[in-house]
Chains A and B, each alone.
Chain A
Amino acid sequence: MQPILSITDLTKTYATGFKALKGISLDIREGEIFALLGPNGAGKTTLISIACGLVRPSGGRVTVGGHDITADYRSARGMIGLVPQELTTDAFETVWDTVTFSRGLFGKRRDPAHIEKVLRDLSLWDKRDATLRTLSGGMKRRVLIAKALSHEPRLLFLDEPTAGVDVELRRDMWRLVRALRDDGVTMVLTTHYIEEAEEMADRVGVIRGGELILVEEKAALMRQLGRKRLVIDLAAPVPGLPETLARHRLKASADGAQLFYTYEAAAAGAPDLGGLMQDLAGAGAVVRDVTTSQNTLEEIFVDLVSQRA
C-alpha cells in the first residue's frame, strides 16, 4: 500500500547555516500512529513544518497521499491537519467562528453538524460562544485540535500535544486519538516522553541532531524497555556456575564475584526470584547484596543502533 506520508532524503539548513535535518527518509503507513521521539532541538518541529508547508525544505522530497507537497500543494495540504506546538490562537473570535474559519480555509463547504461533533468530542461545546482570549491554556489547546479536525484531515500532526497539559486533557486527548484511529486517520505525534509513545503509538521513530537514528515497532521497543537486570554481589566468588543454577541462565562477572540475572518485568509468568535465592543458598553462595536496574531508553537506543551498525 502506498504510504500516506513519504519523506525521502529530506534536509533543512536554516538561514543561520544550522543543519536542522540531515537527510531524513521515512514512510508513514496509512492508519498508523507514529510517535517521533527526540530531545529538544532534534528537528521534530522542523520536520512537521516542512510537511505542512510552513518551512521550505533545502533538499529531498515529501509526498502526502502521493501528492508532492510543493508541486501539488493543494491536494497534499488538503489532507493534513496540524496541531502546532505553540499555543497560538486569535483573541477576539469565538470558538465556533475560529473552528468554522479553519474548515473554510481548507476548502470545505460549511458543515455545522461536523463542527458541532468536533466541539462536543473535545468538550468545547459549552464554550462555543466564548471568545478565545477568555479561555484557559488547556481550552486553547483543545481549540487548536478542533481547528485541525474541522476539515476532516486524513493525516494529523500533533506537535507535542501533551506538553504542559493537565491530566484531564491528556486523558481526553488519548481517547480522541483512539477514536480518530478507528476512523482511519493517520497520526504523527512528537514528544520527548517515552510514556507517551508507549501509550499510543504503533511505531516509534527516534530523532536526534536532525538524524532519524531508529524506527521500530513499539512492541519491540517496549519488550526491550521492560527488561530488568538483577545484580547479585557475592561474599566470595563461586568458581564456575553450579549445575543447580543452570535453569536460571545466570551470567557471572569475570572474577565471579557478581552474578547477573535478566528477566522480563512485564512478562506473563513472574520471574522465579524466590527459587533463584534458594538455589543460590543451596549452591553455597553467600549473597551480600542485591540490586536491580531497568534498561533506560538511552541504553535501548544504543543497543538497537549498535545492532544495526
Chain B
Amino acid sequence: MNIHAVRAIYGFEMARTLRTLTQSIVSPVLSTALYFVVFGAALGSRIPSVDGVSYGAFIVPGLVMLSLLTQSIANASFGIYFPRFTGTIYEILSAPISAFEIVAGYVGAAASKSIVLGLIIIATSALFVPLHVEHPVWMVAALVLTSVTFSLFGFVIGIWADGFEKLQLVPLLVVTPLTFLGGSFYSIETLPAPWRQIAYLNPVVYLVNGFRWSFVGRADVPPEVSFGMTLAILALCAALIAWIFRTGYRLKT
C-alpha cells in the first residue's frame, strides 16, 4: 500500500477545496438557505405537516441529499477530469500506485468534502426549523455512504467526460431531475397512480427515504431497502471503476 501517494492525492484535492472555499462550501449553504426560505417559510406555512412532521423538518433530509448528490459528483468528477484535461494525469499514471489507491485519494477527498458540507447544511437548517435526529448513527452512516457512493459515480463521469459540457451533463440532466422527482420535497405516497409506482423506479427515492428515516423515524420505504439500494449503487460504481482501470478506458492508449 502506497500510503504516501494516497495522502498526497488526498491532500492535493483538499487544498483545492480550501482554495475555492466560496464555491465549495458557501454557495451550497446559501442555496440551501434559499430553499428553506422559499419552501420552508413561504410555502411551508400553507402545508401544515407531512405524516405528522412539520413541512420544514420534512424537507431537511431531502435538501441535504440534493447537495450531497450534486456536490459529490461535481467534486469527484472535476478532481479526476481536470488532470486529464491539462495532461498532468501523466504523473498519476506513471507513479507506483494502484487503481485502488488512486480512487481512495480522489474519492476519499470528494467524499470528505461532501460529508463536511452535509453536516454544515444540517447545522444551517437547525437555524430555520427545530431539528430532531431519531437515529443519529444511521444518519451519519447514510451521510457517509451516500457521499462515497456518489463520489465514486462522479469519478466515473470524470473519466468518461471528454469535455466540460459532458462533465455538467449528467448532473444537470439526470441527477438533479431525479432528486427533485425523488421525494425530496414531498412524500411519494401522496402521488397518484401510476406516478407513485413509476417514482419507485427512481433510485434517489431510496436514498432520500433512508436518510429521512434516520431523521424522523418514518419513510415511504423501509430503511433496509434504502440502505440495500445505496450499497447496490456503490457496488455498481466500484465495478465500473474496476473495469476502467483494467481496460485503461480513457486513461491509457
Contact = CB atoms under 8 A, between A and B. Distances in A.
Interface of A: 14-15, 52-56, 73-78, 80, 82, 84, 86, 88-93, 97, 100-109, 147
Given A105-B8, A107-B2, A147 B91 contact: yes
A53 B4 contact: no
Interface string B18-40: 01000000000000000000000
A292 to B, nearest CB: 46
Contact of B96 (A15, A55, A107, A109): A107
10 contacts: A53-B94, A54-B90, A73-B96, A78-B96, A80-B94, A90-B83, A105-B4, A105-B95, A107-B4, A107-B95
B16 interface: yes
A56 B8 CA distance: 25
Given A88-B88, A107-B4, A56 B94 contact: no
B90 A88 contact: yes
A91 B86 CA distance: 9
Given A54-B93, A56-B253, A74-B96, A108 B88 contact: no
A107 B87 contact: no
Given A54-B252, A90-B83, A106-B96, 17 more contacts: A14-B253, A55-B253, A56-B252, A74-B98, A80-B94, A82-B90, A86-B87, A91-B86, A92-B19, A100-B8, A101-B11, A102-B91, A105-B5, A105-B9, A106-B5, A107-B2, A108-B4
Interface in B231-253: 248, 252-253
Interface string B57-81: 0000000000000000000000000
A73 B87 CA distance: 21
A89 B93 contact: no
B96 A75 contact: yes
Nearest to A88: B87
A15 B248 CA distance: 13
B96 A104 contact: no
B164 interface: no
A76 B93 CA distance: 13
Contacts of A97: 12, 15
B4 A90 contact: no
B218 interface: no
B91 to A, nearest CB: 6
Listed residue (A73, A76, A78, A106) with the most chain B CB atoms within 10 angstroms of its CB: A106
A88 B86 contact: yes
Interface of B: 2, 4-5, 7-9, 11-12, 15-16, 19, 83, 86-88, 90-98, 248, 252-253
B63 to A, nearest CB: 31
Nearest to B12: A101
A105 B91 CA distance: 8
B146 to A, nearest CB: 29
B94 A55 contact: no
Given A88-B88, A92-B16, A106-B5, A56 B248 contact: yes
A82 B12 CA distance: 20
Contact of B5 (A76, A88, A90, A104): A104
A74 B5 CA distance: 12
Contacts of B15: 93, 97
B95 A106 contact: yes
A74 B2 contact: yes
Nearest to A104: B8
Contacts of A147: 91
Nearest to A91: B86
B90 to A, nearest CB: 6
A238 to B, nearest CB: 63
A102 B95 CA distance: 9
Contacts of B252: 54-56
Contacts of A92: 16, 19
Given A14-B253, A77-B95, A109 B4 contact: yes
A92 B2 CA distance: 25
A14 B253 CA distance: 7
Q: Closest 8 A-B residue pairs measured CB to CB?
A: A104-B8, A88-B87, A77-B96, A52-B94, A74-B96, A78-B96, A107-B2, A105-B95
A90 to B, nearest CB: 6
A104 B7 contact: yes
A107 B88 CA distance: 18
Which of B7, B97, B248 counts the most A-chain CB atoms under 10 A from its CB? B97
A83 B154 CA distance: 30
